Amino acid sequence: MSDTATPTVIRREDYAPPAFLIDAVDLEFDLAPEHTVVKSTLRVRRNPAAKPAPHLELMGEQLEFIGAQIDGNSYENVRAHEHGLTIENVPDAFTLALTGACNPEANTTLSGLYVSSGNFFTQCEAEGFRRITWFLDRPDVMSTYTVTLRADKTACPVLLSNGNLIEAGDLPDGRHYAKWEDPFRKPSYLFALVAGKLVALEERITTSSGKEKLLQVWVEPNDLDKTRHAMDSLIHSIRWDERRFGLELDLDRFMIVAVSDFNMGAMENKGLNIFNTKYVLANPETATDVDFANIEAVVGHEYFHNWTGNRVTCRDWFQLSLKEGLTVFRDQEFSAAMSGGDENEAARATKRIEDVRVLRQMQFAEDAGPMAHPVRPESYVEINNFYTMTVYEKGAEVVRMYQTLFGRDGFRKGMDLYFQRHDGQAVTCDDFRRAMADANGRDLAQFERWYSQAGTPRVTVTTHYDAAAKRCSVTLSQGYANGSPAARDTQKGALLIPFAIGLIGPDGADLPLRLEGESSSSGTTRVLELTETQQTFTFVDVAHKPLPSLLRNFSAPVIVEYDYSNDELAFLLAHDSDPFNRWEAGQRLATRELLALAARAATRQPLAINDALINAFGRVLNDASLSPSFRELALMLPSETYLAEQMAESNPAAVHTARQFVRKGLAAALKSEWLVAYDANLTPGAYEPTPEAAGHRGLKNLALSYLSELDAPADAVRLATAQYSAANNMTDRAAALSALMNAASGAGGDQAKQALEDFYVRFEKEPLVIDKWFSLQATQRGTAQRPTIETVRALMRHPAFNLKNPNRARSLIFSFCAANPAQFHAADGSGYAFWAEQVLALDAINPQVAARLARNLELWRRFTPALRDAMRAALEQVAAQAKSRDVREIVEKALA
């Protein structure tokens, strides 16, 4: 770092160890909203493993320099500049004391120290600590911390930081203090403090080795009645990590704090997790089943980071997936276990389906556009732009593949070795891979390519059955789509792809599997290891011509190409023993039909729905042997965004027409079945957020949503009106409101208006519910008379709208731009103009949030020519005016 630093590209290959190490940090905060003084005392020494440097260069941003001392004497050879502090000609080992100040009240970026509803919070990952004090703000500098907080006792009765409380007391002038000590070495990105008027739900538990721990969930006083579920989720997470990985909570106290102004979901600061209120607060009246499940997943995720992220952290930010991919995998496994026990495969499958749907819709799209990058990126301009679907979700798939290859026990051995080797260290993805390889006696050199190659691999499958010899050969070829950025990179080599396969006989039952060369058959699902560009696997003793069930449980993050007929897909949907592939067959069938219809809609040809799809969906709906949650997933059509991405030229309007046509067709053809399903899945009595009850509500509300599509939606309006008023939970109330709004163009107009008004008045004091109110309107279908953009622009002027609150901005702006494709991509370009305005407005307030919104246009080259041109113009406008490095990186990459 130097004072001449301009936004430059940071490259993985340039990594060098830090010239200095900081063993201990002592921080003293005098908290005041507009002028917080921070004194930082650092024990510094030259790093024996690095090239010697005469000067110490510390990072710092937006800080006022007050003074510096070395070993107790004031030191003059210090230069404060825009990017930090240069301390010249320092000794080999010394104590450095720095005093500076910042302005939390004016900090709208929500990175560093900021004020939200009068309380103080911090967010340091990735590079926020340097906005609090000068430091070697990089993850490979690990230190122990003591922190003293001083503040006005009335304004800030609660003072929290990482670790254990070791002292507290009163000070003159109505102030008080608290001193915290974190015994574990940590990088600066895990530092946190919270100060303000908060209350806690508390619980004491005893961990597996018999130690007592204090658990706290801190919230604003009004929200104490919404903390039970987060606390339960935390306890379940602690128990699960003990059971599954033998990992115990290390600190005596573990705290979760909720804050309503937060850039992302939550943050795993050591012992003091800070959460977006959205992922903490829930009671039946305010939170849906999906909210309850998300809270459980995010509480688990942040808790699991305590070992995968905090105890073992990243050497540099290129290794982000080391902690994020692994921790997402762990939270996915946790949620699956919570929804069906560790062993119930059918129940686990619904979680798997939901995760894969997100991966395919979001990560595959990212991989096909200008932000495509490997799980371990090679370069970045702004690291906050690389908290991506690829690093998180594809990273989790990469971790899952180790488990698929080695089994749960082999994976556990790898994890044990990883902690044995690296506890307390800052390491790399290679270190993790080596632990997995060594623990399982495998050479995983080829597996590195999963970390270094961008793009979504395609596996093309052909089969050949020799009836006379009873042999079935399966040929797998791997590559990347023609013209994709990945295919153009000639450095790419074949991946090791665990490809799970089954063979299904004519009666629908799995056939026993025996590969050529094996002495006997074993099992009905086999994980083939594809390591070459093309490889043939031959199964012997295959009594009948089989139908292959490919990539069972989605065993690798790839696209599978195989020429199934519609009848074969319907057969798989009805019979495959792999629940994931049953769902997959239905999705393929629906996607095929929807894309054919979208192509006709694009050229204004008449549409007609294929009976095969109606029959297949009807069978699923009526199949009582399938769980309601599985049926709900199987009967949901692929999203408009996903479908548009599958077209040669994305045409959101045509996709919308086609998908609506199919929804109406399914609604009409299966009307009596939907009505039966509605009644059969009512959940009378007190609300329970269990997976079973949520499954019933999900299927019932899907039925209601289909019924709301009918040209004469009287049934839906009657059911939804009654459901809206009688609901004892948010899942049912929001679903009823949504159905009424859907039906609004028909008979539901007045009822929808009334319900929407009632909803606002009823929940005016619940910001998270008002977010839903904004979001429901932003994702509403528009009409020619009133396109949704008009509603959105009107809502921007609503007194409850606030651009500075990220949840509110997301509920209105992001919902419209990202979750309402047909309206956002309006032919007149009105959506793009709105997008550009809002990206620029956010750019000046909160660059991280602005950059997320900026990504919404990155796939512009794939759209129809008229839309493409309008999108480019909007991107150019933003590129010409945006100031932040965050937004500039996104739009410049999009236009390049």
* Active site amino acids: 302
Task: Note whether 162 binds ligand B3K by CB under 6 A.
Answer: no
Cβ-based nearer residue to ligand B3K, 457 or 806: 806
For residues 209 and 211, give the distance between their C-alpha atoms in angstroms, rounded to a whole number: 6
- Contact segment (CB under 6 A) with ligand B3K among 264-272, 438-446, 517-525, 615-623 equals 264-272
Does 28 bind ligand B3K (CB under 6 A)? Our answer is no
Residue tagged 């999705």 (tokens): 587
Query: Binding string to ligand B3K for residues 291 to 330, with x set by CB under 6 A, is what?
Result: ----------xx--x------------------x------
For 379, the enclosing helix (H) or strand (E) is strand 379-380
What residues contact residue 794 under an 8 Å CB cut-off, 6+ apart?
Answer: none
Interaction between residue 268 and ligand B3K (CB under 6 A): yes
On whether the CB atoms of residues 594 and 611 are closer than 8 A, the answer is no
131 binds ligand B3K (CB under 6 A): no
Closest distance to ligand B3K from the beta carbon of 328 (Å): 8
Residues 830 to 849 in contact with ligand B3K, rule: CB under 6 A: 848
Place of tokens 């390591």: 531
CB 275 within 8 A of CB 300: no
Sheet with 471-479, edge to edge strand ranges: 534-539, 471-479, 458-466, 559-561
> Rounded to whole angstroms, how far apart are CA atoms 327 and 306?
10
The DSSP line for 44-101 is: EEE-TTS---SSEEEE--S-EEEEEEETTEE---EEEETTEEEE-S--SEEEEEEEEE
Q: Containing H/E element for 102?
A: strand 93-102
Task: Answer yes or no: are the C-beta atoms of 188 and 124 closer than 8 Å.
Answer: yes
Interface with ligand B3K (CB under 6 A), residue from 85, 249, 259, 267: 267
**Closest to 514 (Cα-Cα) out of 539, 536, 538, 535:** 539
334 vs 539 by CB, closer to Zn ion: 334
Q: Which two tokens stand for residue 47?
A: 């790093």
**Helix 579-602 and helix 566-575: axis angle, to 10°?**
150
Tell me how far, at minimum, the Cβ of 189 lies from ligand B3K, in Å.
8
The residue (of 376 and 514) whose beta carbon lies closer to ligand B3K is 376
Name the minimum Å distance from CB 257 to Zn ion: 17
The C-alpha atoms of residue 816 and residue 780 are separated, in whole angstroms, by 9
Name the binder of 247 from Zn ion, ligand B3K, none, CB < 5-8 A by kind: none
Quick check: 257 binds ligand B3K (CB under 6 A)? no
Q: How crowded is residue 361: how many other Cβ atoms within 10 Å of its Cβ?
A: 16
Return d(Cα 143, Cα 95) in angstroms, integer: 14
In this chain, which stretch among 260-268, 504-512, 568-576, 659-667 interacts with ligand B3K, using CB under 6 A?
Answer: 260-268
Contact 129, 137 (CB under 8 A): yes
Residue 713 is classified by DSSP as -
Q: Compare residues 387 and 564 and give the one whose CB is closer to ligand B3K.
A: 387
Q: What binding mask, one character per residue, do residues 367-406 give for ligand B3K by CB under 6 A, x or -?
A: -----------------x--x-------------------
CB of 327 to ligand B3K, least distance (A): 7
On whether the CB atoms of residues 202 and 216 are closer than 8 A, the answer is yes
Smallest separation, CB 4 to Zn ion (Å)? 34
Nearer to Zn ion, 79 or 236 (CB): 236
Query: Which lies closer to Zn ion via its Cβ, residue 286 or residue 313?
Result: 313
Whole-number minimum distance, CB 326 to Zn ion, in Å?
A: 9
Residues in the interface with ligand B3K (CB under 6 A) total 13
Do the beta carbons of residue 789 and residue 823 sit within 8 Å? yes
Q: How far is the CB of 379 from ligand B3K (least distance, A)?
A: 17
Does position 126 interact with ligand B3K (CB under 6 A)? The reply is yes
125 binds, among ligand B3K, Zn ion, none (CB under 5 to 8 A by kind): ligand B3K
Question: Residue 761 gets which letter from DSSP?
Answer: H
Pairing of strands 20-30, 142-152: parallel
- Binding region for Zn ion (CB under 5 A): 324, 327
In this complex, which beta carbon is closest to ligand B3K, that of residue 126 or of residue 789? 126
Considering only residues 125, 355, 397, 889, which one is a binding residue for ligand B3K as defined by CB under 6 A?
A: 125
Query: Cβ closer to ligand B3K: 126 or 569?
Result: 126
Q: How many CB atoms lie within 10 A of CB 679?
A: 10
**Site for ligand B3K contains 353 (CB under 6 A):** no
Indicate the SS3 state at residue 618: helix
Nearest distance in Å: CB 764, ligand B3K:
31
Q: Which residues bind ligand B3K (CB under 6 A)?
A: 125-126, 264, 266-268, 301-302, 305, 324, 384, 387, 848
